[in-house]
Chain A
């Protein structure tokens, strides 16, 4: 536990690292707050909407139905061979939607908790973190119906699909990193929130959600391919699809890439967030 706290710009750049490790410890000290915020978020949603948690299932399913309708029904796209398109789509759309929602809610929640931030000192990083946890609970529920949908489309099940579970913490790490980054950016530039939904739409098209990475590789010019694959969401989606749709154990390279993406996004997101944090309470 901390017994001594020094703050101020003149503590020197050498201690910037010390400051960040301190913030990690602070965040750990507030773990109960994170847990409480996450569970109360879920509780509030469950009681304040007529359909309660059915929305948590309905929302992603509707999303998949719409995209299937657009892509298969209207554009005649689909997989002649291989798995049915809704299954193919669902495996990547669920984790994508999770990231998307967790970041958007996390960004606006961080801004809306202005009053709390002006009154109590606590690590503001708890808000994006608690949202990525509560949204992960919904993701788990949505993933739980994946086997039912798969069976309905005549697909078989395999124990390999359970490997989606250890992928969830990695996805959460990537998500919270992105969420920290944009939450802090939103404090400096209030337009971030408005631009974010547009950015995420674009980002979705630039990620293997509606198509596979193999499709992307045949379409994208070779020199852009590496840039495309630097997308922190790219490999985690590939892994989810490998596991859920193809019953493959993901390659070491793709698992490695997701872990690197998780470490890089959380490090950048957390550092940026905490460098901005001392100004939060004054920027409103």
Chain B
């Protein structure tokens, strides 16, 4: 099963959201359920993903397409190991961290520098690896002495820039990209684009999520088309994109051309 020619493989993958339990059980809700408030709680469960199977080899770029609620984000969460599957098996190769969101785990009270450390630690980096990150991140983020200020003094843009800088310097094996996220001014965006394409050459595999087929068309080798949590099509990009394009009204062009995607901001 564990073979070298597979970057990501899913077999019969299913993720279930138990509607009664998504908010956690409490004594009150359990009692309510026990004494007969059944009608309201008996909504049952809902499969965000069901019977999803696919596999991609190292070096491939997988595009995940589908409408809202098709299960794209859930799939990314499973690949990033944030949630575990309820059914089936997912196999992800690589040991470097997979990052789902930029700026994850930031703490307002800590300084920018401390947040770099914390964020990298959440990604499982060792002390030594983190020390080596400081200089390139400092330089890339262009935050200067703000790095020694608490994060609460940062503007939204500065915070995003810091998060992005960390994200592109941790070099994940599996790179998860969401369609568009522009951070900072034009210069910074150009720099980000270069850095991303560099990362893309180093990653073992890349997963791109998008509603629009244009962005996917540009870069993907394989396409997974999800519909209501199930696989509608999986295979070579072109024929599937053509079919997908015919079912969906043409989307507006992406706000800015080019693969200026960033590590997925899911929530």
| CA A30 to CA B101, docked complex, whole Å | 19
CB of A201 within 8 Å of the partner chain:
no
Contacts of A187 in B (CB 8 A): 24
- Which of A2, A6, A32, A277 is the one whose CB lies under 8 Å from B125? A32
Specify the chain A residue showing the minimal Cβ separation from B105.
Answer: A116
Q: Let me know if B126 is at the binding interface, CB within 8 A.
A: yes
Does A32 lie within 8 Å of B98, measured CB to CB?
no
Interface: A219 (CB within 8 A): no
B13 at the A/B interface (Cβ < 8 Å)? Answer: yes
| Residues of chain B in range 84-106 having any CB-CB distance to chain A below 8 Å | 84-95, 97-101, 104-105
Known contacts: A29-B124, A283-B24, A284-B23. The answer to whether A44 contacts B109 by CB under 8 A is yes
Chain B residues with CB under 8 A of A7: 81, 84-85, 89-92
For A282, the chain B residues whose CB sits under 8 A away are: 17, 22, 83
Q: Which residues 105-143 in B have Cβ within 8 Å of A in the complex? A: 105, 107, 109-110, 114, 117-118, 121-127, 130
Known A120-B123, A121-B82, A278-B83: A3·B94 in contact at CB below 8 Å: yes
- How many B residues face the partner with a CB closer than 8 A? 53
Q: Does A117 contact B (CB under 8 A)?
A: yes
B contact residues around A278 at 8 Å (CB): 83-85
Q: Which residue of B lies closest to A34 (CB)?
A: B121
Q: Is B39 an interface residue (CB 8 A)?
A: no
Q: Is A159 in contact with chain B by the CB < 8 A criterion?
A: no
Q: Which of A264-284 contact B (CB under 8 A)?
A: 277-279, 281-284
Q: Enumerate chain A residues within 8 angstroms of B87, measured Cβ to Cβ.
A: 8-10
What is the interface size of chain A, counting residues whose CB is below 8 A from a CB of the partner? 40
- Within 8 Å CB of A117, what residues of B? 82
Given contacts A282-B17, A284-B22, contact A10 B89 (CB under 8 A): yes
Residues of B with C-beta under 8 A to A74: none
Q: B27 to A32, Cβ gap below 8 A?
A: no
Binds B, one of A146-154, A188-196, A253-261: A188-196
Whether the pair B121, A32 counts as a contact (CB closer than 8 A) is: yes
A29-B124, A119-B104 known, 11 other contacts, Cβ within 8 Å: A5-B92, A9-B87, A9-B88, A30-B121, A119-B105, A189-B24, A189-B25, A190-B25, A281-B77, A283-B23, A284-B22
Chain A residues close to B by CB (< 8 Å): 1-11, 29-30, 32-33, 36-37, 40, 44, 48, 115-122, 187-191, 277-279, 281-284
Q: Can you name 27 A-B residue pairings with CB atoms under 8 Å? A: A3-B94, A4-B91, A4-B93, A6-B91, A7-B91, A8-B84, A10-B12, A10-B89, A30-B124, A32-B121, A32-B125, A33-B122, A37-B121, A40-B114, A44-B109, A116-B105, A118-B82, A119-B105, A120-B101, A120-B122, A121-B82, A122-B122, A189-B24, A189-B26, A189-B27, A189-B30, A191-B26
